[in-house]
Amino acid sequence: MPAVSKGDGMRGLAVFISDIRNCKSKEAEIKRINKELANIRSKFKGDKALDGYSKKKYVCKLLFIFLLGHDIDFGHMEAVNLLSSNKYTEKQIGYLFISVLVNSNSELIRLINNAIKNDLSSRNPTFMCLALHCIANVGSREMAEAFASEIPRILVAGDTMDSVKQSAALCLLRLYKTSPDLVLMGEWTSRVVHLLNDQHMGVVTAAISLITCLSQKNPDEFKTCVSLAVSRLSRIVSSASTDLQDYTYYFVPAPWLSCKLLRLLQCYPPPEDGAVKGRLVECLETILNKAQEPPKSKKVQHSNAKNAILFEAISLIIHYDSEPNLLVRACNQLGQFLQHRETNLRYLALESMCTLASSEFSHEAVKTHIETVINALKTERDVSVRQRAADLLYAMCDRSNAKQIVAEMLSYLETADYSIREEMVLKVAILAEKYAVDYSWYVDTILNLIRIAGDYVSEEVWYRVIQIVINRDDVQGYAAKTVFEALQAPACHENMVKVGGYILGEFGNLIAGDPRSSPLVQFNLLHSKFHLCSVPTRALLLSAYIKFINLFPETKSTIQEVLRSDSQIRNSDVELQQRAVEYLKLSSIASTDVLATVLEEMPPFPERESSILAKLKKKKGPGAVSVSELEEGKREGGELNGGSDRGADTAAMAASNASTPSPQADLLGLRSTAPVGSAAPSAGSLLVDVFSEAGPATPSAAVNDDGFLSSAPPSEDPAPPLSEADELLNKFVCKNNGVLFENQLLQIGIKSEYRQNLGRMYLFYGNKTSVQFASFTTTVSCPGDLQSHILYMQEHFVEPLVEGGAQVQQVLNIECLTDFCDAPLLNIKFRYGGALQNLTLKLPVTINKFFQPTEMASHDFFQRWKQLSQPQQEAQKIFKANHSMDTEVLKAKLLGLGTALLDNVDPNPENYVCAGVIQTKNQQVGCLLRLEPNAQAQVLSHTHTHTHTHTHTNLYSCL
């Protein structure tokens, strides 16, 4: 940039600014400004032509007055005239004034565009940069229409100076963000991508911001950038701080460029080229290794730059979710940050570990830090860090640690910040429901939740506990006893009264045999809370009283006296008055049989998605919930029986007048759609937890002659399976969730869960383009005789129109009839830009998905192994290891296979021993497995025995 000469100081501007600062009042300032505006206006309108210096000075004064908050309605033409000056300082002030004051709809925009065009074609780098800065600052659609085709040419031209290339890249980025339809790269695409190889690091840093933005919208056009980005990142990571002296920041080479390269790579799946992928893994390992090195400087800037690269690298590792070693190492590195003295680092570590907890490879590693996270929840000073700690506890929770985590969350709730209490309550309620094996523990937890944070317990929470108690016979007596004891507390929250009124009104008879909880004692206890409650709660209690008359005839006279009192039948609230009058009349004139029919016990609630989870999603907001959480939410939906959204209003309880039909439930809906009024499945089976879903199955599924089940009749034959279909299938043998398929148009995510011989699969179809998919249809087929081995039922249909950037979901229910080998096929058809897209994939449903882990001692294992020694029951195979024979990786894969990994069973500690039962509808197939690794030869010897003679062939296809 040219040096500013001493004569350009503009003494008059300095004096004016000094006068303004010396004003003692607002009135004095306005008076001085008005005087100056009058002077400037007279100078501009005067007969004497102003020189460039004077124009510049007066335009600067106008700009200063505008920045003080005063309106400027003249001087624009003079500023435009400054653009034609050949002096840098005058041209600079002209562009500055235009960038700040000129509206994009101004009549002068054409003159301004002409001046900018002249400067862009001048080949003077200083003037070109000023023009590009002005375009980027204004960034209007008119600017984009005028210069969108010119700037790419400047960017890739061989004779353009590096400083101009930087400005051009950032200017093009600004125009693309405001008017993406006008910025068409076309022929410039490959040349822009190759700017990643530019020798000037500043050009690369500017260009990568542009390429990242373009890649997010058009990933396929810019996919060649992946190898170039890996190559550039490798050079930076492996370089010493002295190699890139101009771009080394506190001993960290090019930290901003490194972060941007890592962020660019997150726009794409892992590289398919083995060499590129290997080089990238080396880079990520190097970054993790450098994080362990002692710092080269004690300055905070050094650690900030170093950690910025580390966290971006961890984000990329999490995005790929395919390298177990890197995921575990990333988790361990983040674990070290959990106790760092820097608050921001602890926050970022907790946030990243929340994402790692959802990966099957790193979930166990995350769980090892549970004590540290609990300590952070208790001792952190910053509320945002405590909230992230609570989020991480929620994410790492599973059946093994659910009771501990729920207990810690309940303990924290007593002192938690008011801003996060409601969300904490929802999370505790969800975890207690999802991982409840002992339902008495669930009831205790929710009642404790109401006691500790009753004001923050929403209706959805206490509705839910009532639904579950009603649907489970084995917990009703315990719930009645527990809630009766809870109501005896002197200070009792109103939500506790609601739960108590409902449960005692339904199941008070189960504890009435104890003199301490006799019918009259129960009634008096409830009625002692009546005057303290709001109108809706009083209405619920009145319904409980009429239920008492049916359950306990001896309380009839006492309750009728209450209903007959003036405070009830003359109540100012219409709802309470009507209930009191109607219930009093009902108890007086109805016979015992009629009363028993009208006031019959509530029927079980239908199975639906948990309304608590829906509320948590809503509270987090649409942008704060990731795809994996949404998928997880659907799976969590019915962990316990009774996921209805309806309120537990006892008005309906009192008005129920039909007996509960109880046909045998069809869990999957495979045979027929259940009647609307049918009862929920038996509470004795947890299978229904997996398959609960909002509403009945849609009855309009079309099954064609081939046994295919599709969302619409296909008009063209399905395409043959993709060449990489087997490879995509194999990725899911040991995991149940992830991205099944992705190209430049479509992303297909998958989430599935299996219990015994039943499974449910959620498919998520994401439109990655900005264009609508039309005629979107999907077809699931079972090739060959697979139809007799495995049966599918499609519950939800995909909408035929998928908007740009939108995602639609499809649910498949699975039932394994006998063992099988082939995988079902999924065909997807849609029209994109008028052209038909037709692709077929293999659904990742393999026989090992129906494994039930089995624990057994060493003696039992080998005794069982000897019993299955017949040739057709035993099989052995020796094969070359395709991946690293790392202990943790092998354990993760064997656990992912679905078997139980048995410790201290095999005499050789290097061997792995597993046991499990393959659950099918027709039979159960026991399976014992032994894996003998030979690290020197890099081979694995696998032996397994089965109670069924044909299963080993099918299981080998998975292994």
In order, the DSSP letters of 86-148 are SSHHHHHHHHHHHHHH--TT-TTHHHHHHHHHHHHTS--HHHHHHHHHHHHHH--HHHHHHHT
pLDDT, residue 260, reads 93
pLDDT, residue 714, reads 42
For 609, 631, 699, 734, the CA distances from 813, given in Å and listed in that order, are 16, 15, 14, 20
Tell me the residue length of the chain.
959
Measured in whole angstroms, the distance separating CA 918 from the mean position of its chain's CA atoms is 32
Mutual angle of helices 324-337 and 274-292, in 10-degree steps: 20
Low-confidence ranges of the chain (pLDDT < 70): 1-9, 104-105, 241-243, 245, 607-716, 785-797, 868-877, 879-885, 935-959
For 21, 29, 31, 70, 273, the CA distances from 25, given in Å and listed in that order, are 10, 6, 10, 16, 70
DSSP string, 748-804: EEEEEEEETTEEEEEEEEEE-SSS-BEEEEEEEE--GGGGGTEEEEE-SPPPS-B-T
Q: How far apart (Å, rounded) are the C-alpha atoms in residues 256 and 205?
A: 8
- Per-residue burial over 55-82, b if 16 or more Cβ lie within 10 Å, else e, is bbbbbbbbbbbeeeeeebeebbebbbbb
Q: How far apart (Å, rounded) are the C-alpha atoms in residues 446 and 465?
A: 7
In three-state secondary structure terms, 505 is helix
Q: Within 454-533, where are the H helices?
A: 459-471, 473-487, 494-507, 519-527
Characterize the bridge pairing of strands 912-919 and 248-249: unpaired
For 734, 904, 929, 952, the CA distances from 926, given in Å and listed in that order, are 19, 21, 10, 11
Q: How far apart (Å, rounded) are the C-alpha atoms in residues 502 and 510?
A: 14
Q: How far apart (Å, rounded) are the C-alpha atoms in residues 949 and 752?
A: 28
pLDDT, residue 628, reads 41
Q: How far apart (Å, rounded) are the C-alpha atoms in residues 596 and 618?
A: 41
**Residue in 535, 598, 541 with CA at minimum distance from that of residue 571:** 535
For 261, 535, 875, the CA distances from 581, given in Å and listed in that order, are 74, 16, 77
pLDDT, residue 684, reads 32
How many C-beta atoms surround the C-beta of residue 478 within 10 A?
Answer: 19
How many C-beta atoms surround the C-beta of residue 951 within 10 A?
Answer: 24
Measured in whole angstroms, the distance separating CA 544 from the mean position of its chain's CA atoms is 42
Amino acid at 176: Y
Q: What angle do CA 239, 244, 250 make, to 5 degrees?
A: 95
Which H or E element spans position 896? helix 887-896
Which residues is 879 bridged to in the sheet? 940
Of the chain, the end-to-end C-alpha distance in Å amounts to 65
Task: For residue 839, report the phi and psi dihedrals to the nearest 5 degrees.
Answer: -140, 150
pTM to 2 decimal places: 0.60
Q: Where are the beta strands (DSSP E) in 128-198?
A: none
Measured in whole angstroms, the distance separating CA 722 from the mean position of its chain's CA atoms is 29
Q: How far apart (Å, rounded) are the C-alpha atoms in residues 17 and 65?
A: 9
pLDDT, residue 143, reads 84
pLDDT, residue 950, reads 52
Cβ contact 763:810 at 8 Å: yes
pLDDT, residue 205, reads 92
Q: How far apart (Å, rounded) are the C-alpha atoms in residues 938 and 295?
A: 38
Cβ contact 856:864 at 8 Å: yes
The binding site comprises 11-12, 43, 53, 57-61
Q: How far apart (Å, rounded) are the C-alpha atoms in residues 429 and 499?
A: 15
Amino acid at 562: V
- Per-residue burial over 819-833, b if 16 or more Cβ lie within 10 Å, else e, is bbbbbbbbbbbbebe
Query: What is residue 361's DSSP assignment?
Result: T
For 127, 186, 253, 263, 564, the CA distances from 281, given in Å and listed in that order, are 44, 32, 19, 15, 79
Measured in whole angstroms, the distance separating CA 775 from the mean position of its chain's CA atoms is 28
Q: How far apart (Å, rounded) are the C-alpha atoms in residues 255 and 301?
A: 11
Cβ contact 65:36 at 8 Å: yes
Cβ contact 101:63 at 8 Å: yes
The pair of three-digit structure tokens given for residue 573, joined into one six-digit string: 């609230």
Task: For residue 888, report the phi and psi dihedrals to the nearest 5 degrees.
Answer: -65, -35
In three-state secondary structure terms, 931 is strand
How many C-beta atoms surround the C-beta of residue 308 within 10 A?
Answer: 17
Task: For residue 386, report the phi and psi dihedrals to the nearest 5 degrees.
Answer: -65, -40
pLDDT, residue 492, reads 86
Cβ contact 519:532 at 8 Å: no
Q: How far apart (Å, rounded) are the C-alpha atoms in residues 351 and 328?
A: 16
DSSP string, 598-617: HTPPPPPPPP---HHHHHHH
Cβ contact 177:217 at 8 Å: no
